[in-house]
């Protein structure tokens, strides 16, 4: 909901109630406060595809809108995908490196 401040003053944190019958806006109904005359809520289409009937209410005035939630397609792998590469160093290499560093710290240095 947007309120034009030129038409009148709407204080911050004025409660606005958002509702939906499909998906959610935090739940089926949520109350948010205005900031600079604007109140927002995010509609998540996480239930099913279809038409969500949404509304926003402020001071016994209600605005409604119909939002079409489209179905998503699941990502699928194909035969032409590139496999993951083996990365990192083998555990034997790490063990050998730690052994060499430890031996260098423990063994006394030889004088020439």
Dump pLDDT digits (tens) for 73-111: 766 656 666 666 666 667 777 888 888 888 877 776 665
Task: Give me the residue spans of the domains in the chain.
Answer: 5-69
pLDDT at position 51 is 92
pLDDT in tens, 18-69: 999 998 888 899 999 998 888 999 998 888 889 999 999 998 899 999 999 8
DSSP-assigned states of every residue in 27-52: SSEEEEE-BTTB-----B--S-SEEE
Distance of CA 19 to the CA centre of its chain: 20
Phi-psi region of 36 (alpha: psi -120 to 50; beta: other; left: phi over 0): left
């Amino acid at each position: 909901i947007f309120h034009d401040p030129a038409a009148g003053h709407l204080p911050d944190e004025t409660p606005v109630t958002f509702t939906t019958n499909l998906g959610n806006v935090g739940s089926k109904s949520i109350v948010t406060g205005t900031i600079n005359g604007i109140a927002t809520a995010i509609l998540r289409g996480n239930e099913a595809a279809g038409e969500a009937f949404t509304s926003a209410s402020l001071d016994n005035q209600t605005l409604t809108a119909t939002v079409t939630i489209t179905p998503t397609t699941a990502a699928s792998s194909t035969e032409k995908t590139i496999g993951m590469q083996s990365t990192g160093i083998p555990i034997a290499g790490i063990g050998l490196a730690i052994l060499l560093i430890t031996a260098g710290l423990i063994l006394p240095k030889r004088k020439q």
